A and B are shown apart, each in its own frame.
Chain A
Amino acid sequence: GAVVSQHPSWVICKSGTSVKIECRSLDFQATTMFWYRQFPKQSLMLMATSNEGSKATYEQGVEKDKFLINHASLTLSTLTVTSAHPEDSSFYICSARRAINEKLFFGSGTQLSVL
């Protein structure tokens, strides 16, 4: 099956700093990528939908200026958590698909801890 690589797997940062998470589709071109956030014991919450070459579409309640998403190529999308605070500590997961009627593939997730 197709592979979606997500880096880093875990990151610890100080409050106020920015963190970038990468999501790469290794063996297919992803026209759409999705970013999710999952707090402990809770479900995955969709943060934004990212299409290559266009601005991401953010879900209601997600601050676009805080969670910067860049989908500059068909194989790479990045999520930057700007000025991170402890309440941003969460498990962030990306997913990607080649076309709208094709299967969705998930990255392995990034555990962010903000001190």
Chain B
Amino acid sequence: QKEVEQNSGPLSVPEGAIASLNCTYSDRGSQSFFWYRQYSGKSPELIMSIYSNGDKEDGRFTAQLNKASQYVSLLIRDSQPSDSATYLCAPERGSARQLTFGSGTQLTVLP
């Protein structure tokens, strides 16, 4: 079992729709979770962080965490073409609180 698994892409949604990205993780000790967006050839940029069970909203983005199910998700409302990128789920782990990245879900928002 991979440490971090994300729903296989690519995922295409029309402009204005909701994009749903899912992630499961294996380390029950992980307490902090991050979603990053990465454009091709660029380094990741932080979109959301979540630490507690439930929902966390920031603008068009909502992160959801369920530690019992070891599941974290990201919803993007009113998707825009500029949201087209690869989204990486990254739980923290270990004493140094390293990030373990999932393989990413490539999202394409069609105009």
Contacts and interface: CB of A to CB of B under 8 A. Distances in A.
Nearest to B94: A49
A13 interface: no
Interface in B82-102: 88, 96-102
Interface residues of B, number: 16
A109 B43 contact: yes
A106 B44 contact: yes
Given A43-B88, A43-B104, A100 B97 contact: yes
Classify the secondary structure of A's interface with B: strand
Nearest to B45: A106
A44 interface: yes
A109 B99 contact: no
B7 interface: no
Interface residues of A, number: 22
B98 A107 contact: no
A49 B96 contact: yes
B17 interface: no
Interface string A26-65: 0000001010100000111110010100000100000000
Nearest to A44: B101
Interface of A: 32, 34, 36, 42-46, 49, 51, 57, 91, 93, 95, 100, 103-104, 106-109, 111
